[in-house]
Structure 1
Amino acid sequence: MADTWNAELYKTKHAFVFEYGNSLIGDWLQPQAGEQILDLGCGTGELTAQLAASGAQVTGIDASPAMIATARQTFPEGSFDVADATTFSLPQQFDAIFSNATLHWVREKEKAIARMYAQLKKGGRLVIEMGGKGNVDSILHTLNIVMQEKGYHYEPFWYFPSPGEYTTLLEQAGFKVERVHFFDRPTRLADPHTGIIDWLQMFGQHFFAGIPETDIQNILQQVQQELAPQITRNGELYADYVRLRVAAIKI
């Protein structure tokens, strides 16, 4: 798949993706100095750098060359590589694997889980956050309706599992699940006038493959116009994020 990530748009209007990951590090992972940690789906490297600040030895991987290029430029002292979650293979095993807002992009989830298991030391920790069942339903429902009205086929893309579904997959792979949190997290979009458009341009390019640019813009404008009144609170847009956090141990 072509790299469609806009690293600048990600950092300027969607920084909440990595900012919300701070508590996942401090409260769930609790990295220790000297540990070897893998940041799976590191994006532009902000959380990788935060992990490294704990004294851990951190490697960040991401499938997007654009994201890795930005991470290397912003954090030149860091260790970053382009790699796919379903096929990555690194020379060392890790004390912990950390992943924030990545695994819902990985539809071959069993392959990703198998790779994470293989790259952890025995007793190693897996700490993840991803979109859970119901995540951004309002955006996707409205997009579906608008695309059909304009004669285009909407094809679901992300993998947003229930807690039971994902923890079962982890257990089948050999993990012991220790902690689960499934929760609503209404997320403010940066621009109340174009926030839904910006969000779809950042994360939803795959929906528009093969559609003329003029039609794409018309779809985006209509989704923004129809959905914005429903998700506006105190003059701000809030996307209906649902998050799944899991901590597990390789046994």
Structure 2
Amino acid sequence: MPYNHSIKDNWDASLYDGKHSFVSIFGSELIDLLAPHKGENILDLGCGTGDLAKKLFDLEVNVIAVDKSENMIRNAKSKYPNIYFEVNDAIKLEYNCKFDAVFSNATLHWVKPPKQALQHIFSGLKHGGRFVAEFGGKGNVQKITSEIINQRKKLGYEFKMENFPWYYPSIGEYTSLMEEVGFRVTFAQHFDRPTPLDGDNGLRNWIEMFGGDLFEGISENTKNQIIANVEHNLKGALYNQKNNSWIADYKRIRVVGIKNK
């Protein structure tokens, strides 16, 4: 869920809930992997508008849900007033041996530097606690982002890859970081998950929701031109004519790590 690394809070919580509910829907599978027990203390890291925190709450765990976006936390508090939500940053967490589990869905690809986040997650877990996460892995939405960058360049706007907003590691890279921090990695998976986007404007909505950093310094008119060109060039590869919907080329990583010391 959203955890934008940038200083400005550009997250549109209403658009997120209205057009990108698939984030929470797919996240429900991750809760099965988490296998929470009644009474456990669990941190939902990057909770977005709170839908998965609500699922955890309904399973009678003690959930603390955090997100860097004030807009998302405001929306989550409005929806679920009985759950504890707070604005917090994955690389600034100050919990110490508090949680039985840290749960994170669709968040950690926004967080840099990744090792610093893992160190804070590790510190927040009790001995024997588990870290369960899913996020974008190597190759995630590569067709979409490559085409946006290509269209920028065609219009004379160069793009420096150090400004790429996401961190999409290979499974070897990320599990190595986990081990360096002290986790025993008990599960790791890197898989394709073609993800339907809602309606004819699904790709545009996805870019508006998640890809704003790729248009830094570009006017609204030029941005719209770039998005239109991207839609045109990707229609053959990512548009499902039968369902009249776009398909995002998601590639995900799922991991489980145990704190043994």
TM-score (norm 2): 0.93
Deviation, 1:145, is: 0.8
Does residue 53 of the first structure (1) align with residue 58 of the second (2)? yes
Q: Which residue of 2 aligns with 1:208?
A: 215
Q: Which residue of 1 aligns with 2:257?
A: 248
2:23 aligned residue (17, 26, 33) = 17
Does residue 128 of the first structure (1) align with residue 137 of the second (2)? no
Which has the larger displacement, 57-66 or 203-212? Answer: 203-212
Q: Which residue of 2 aligns with 1:150?
A: 155
Residues 72, 80 of structure 1: 8 Å contact kept: yes
Which has the larger displacement, 95-104 or 208-217? Answer: 208-217
- The residue identity in structure 2 corresponding to 1:201 is E
Residues 137, 170 of structure 2: 8 Å contact kept: yes
Q: Which residue of 1 aligns with 2:3?
A: none
- The residue identity in structure 2 corresponding to 1:50 is K
Q: Deviations over 1:31-53 (max 9, x none)?
A: 11100000000000000010111
* Runs (5+) with no aligned partner, structure 1: none
Q: Which residue of 2 aligns with 1:62?
A: 67
Instruction: Look up the SS of the partner of 1:21 in the other structure.
Output: helix
Quote the sequence identity (%): 43
Deviation, 1:219, is: 1.0
Deviation, 1:90, is: 3.5
Partners of 2:98 and 2:37 lie apart in 1 by: 16
Which has the larger displacement, 85-94 or 11-20? Answer: 85-94
Partners of 1:157 and 1:35 lie apart in 2 by: 34
Instruction: Look up the SS of the partner of 1:176 in the other structure.
Output: strand
Q: Which residue of 1 aligns with 2:206?
A: 199
Q: Which residue of 2 aligns with 1:189?
A: 197
Report the count of equivalent residues: 249
Residues 97, 123 of structure 2: 8 Å contact kept: no
- The residue identity in structure 1 corresponding to 2:258 is I
* Paired residues for 1:162-173 under 5 Å: 162-173=170-181
Partners of 2:231 and 2:204 lie apart in 1 by: 6
- The residue identity in structure 2 corresponding to 1:62 is D
Q: Which residue of 2 aligns with 1:29?
A: 34
* Runs (5+) with no aligned partner, structure 2: 1-6
Deviation, 1:236, is: 2.3
Which has the larger displacement, 226-235 or 100-109? Answer: 226-235
Residues 134, 253 of structure 2: 8 Å contact kept: yes
Q: Deviations over 1:67-120 (max 9, x none)?
A: 000000000101000001101213761000000000000121011000000000
* Paired residues for 1:84-99 under 5 Å: 84-90=89-95, 93-99=98-104
